[in-house]
Structure 1
Amino acid sequence: MKRIGRLVLLFCAVLLGVSVAVSAPAGAEPKLPENYNFFGGIPYELQHPGGSLPGSNDFGCKPTAEHPRPVVLVHGTGGARTTNWGSYVPMLKNRGYCVFALTYGALPGMPWPLTAVGGMDRIDVSAGQLQKFVAKVLSATGAKTVDLIGHSQGTYMPTYYLKYLGGADKVTNYVSLAPLWKGTGSVSPAMNQLGRLLGDVPMPMCIGCGGMLQGSSMHKKIWSGGSPYVKGVRYTNIMTKYDELVVPYTAGYVPGRAGETVRNVVVQDTCAQDYSDHLAIAGSRRAAYIALNALDPEHPVTVPCEFVPPFTGQS
């Protein structure tokens, strides 16, 4: 099974032109190589099954005055702490952040590579894993709160943690790549009805995926109080018009109400050359720099307008 998994991931890496050579873990100097490609973390998972990307999950890292909050990366459905964040870990580490990433929702009792396929369990179960991980990060670093950067399901699931598991006072910035606040399939009344009928039915492999359907009971919990947001947390939603999985992409475009701090960003609004889709937006330098500015708006970096291809996001 492990051999088959390695071959599958290796094939993906070769097909996408991703180098399998991986730099050894490094400290502050020399800088970690930055690779803006959604699939950039696959080679490391191939060579270090179940490991953490260099620069991440250093529980001896102490936040600085410039970056006082650790950043916790929350992958999407089918992702992991390595495979989803090949672009973000080195970018954040090189800029002085303490960076942490978890794999949540991997089905128990499975061999590798299925241990690197997260987001498969119920959303409340995954949120409980995030709760424990954040508690560990805060204990190790001495920080009072963390910043979250999530992709896809990783934009949605943490809300359960904030609203029901005590996370509201432990998160300062909540940055979402390809968010699905209004649920998947929200364009269709039929999909809404399907969510009401099947949202709580365990799906094959992805047990909790029905919880992201608009009509599901989990979706109602996410929207308890009439909003997916929590007051006191700063939200940044980063979307693409070419999202083929969050349909329509405006399912992630939810303005904040009174007392809620929300910024909605559609990447094409400032750059027509950006063809990011659902995957590419997590591998795009443009989107990554927008995320950086959400974490530290007092020291903004210049967000480039450059060609971003779909699928990989490499730019």
Structure 2
Amino acid sequence: MENNALNDGVYVMSEVKSIREAFAEASSFLSRSGCNEPQRSAQLLLEHVLGLSGAAYYMALADPFPAAVKEAFEAGVTRRGAGEPVQYIIGEQEFYGRPFEVTPDVLIPRPETELLVEAILRYGAELWPDGVVTPGEAALDSAGGAGDVRAARPLTAVDIGAGSGAISVTLAAEAPAWRVCAGDISPAALAVAERNALRNGTAVDFRLGDLLEPFAGMETDILVSNPPYIPGEDIAGLQREVRDHEPRTALDGGADGLDPYRRMMEQLTLLPAPPRLIGFELGFGQAEQVAALLAAAGHWTEIITINDLAGIPRHVLGITR
């Protein structure tokens, strides 16, 4: 039965007796379907249909598989076997310890992006320990300084390319004293991000528009972005989960993948002054070029590159202390 199911791409459970047996059979089907992480996918799908997670899931492995969820499990495994990311099937991905809704309108948050959030929080706390910007230090404000009588204000952090809201919602949750804003060119993505902000009890100012344009005239202290950075001609060679299911507008960074970074550097003139802290996520082999873009802009005294957990340069930050 399993071979027939694999041949026509439809998963049909045999008469399994336990949840553990269902896991083993689905894992085997997904493996033979060419899925990456077949066991992890099978577990996430089981947890989803059973309404269990963590220790409760493992404690239930010896229990009989409930017939009431058989069709839902078969449908989920079939979709995963066809290459659909498991996160879209279950509608959720964890990021920085919090649950985030994900739909095909947004990229699935990646673990390496947590390192970017971590760095922004760390350097943001160093630059503004109480989360407040005092007159004269707003961004790189050459007009401020001695005699500036403007009132202090909350630090303002702007996330460009909000997607699911993973970055902006996490910053708002971890640094509640900050004013956090986020923009995206996709109304559907912003709708997902707004639901995630509500779900995680945070206040984020979401704005629709292209890169920095929705924030023209806004005093911005921190700018953070995980923009599209895949070179257009490389998209066809991506894993099918990414190529066929994640939104292309959130992947395609132009001919060399660097178009969004160049455009954001050009659009800094829309702000009253450049941010004192800027942080970008980027693709394999792009760190040197993105660091050069930041250095050429001349706004930051330090340019820092951060490796991801695989040792790949993944983030570039510009800082003025």
TM-score, L = length of structure 2: 0.35
Which structure is higher in strand share? Answer: 2
Larger radius of gyration: 2
Higher relative contact order (CA 8 A, sep 6+): 1
TM-score between the two structures when normalised by the length of structure 1: 0.35
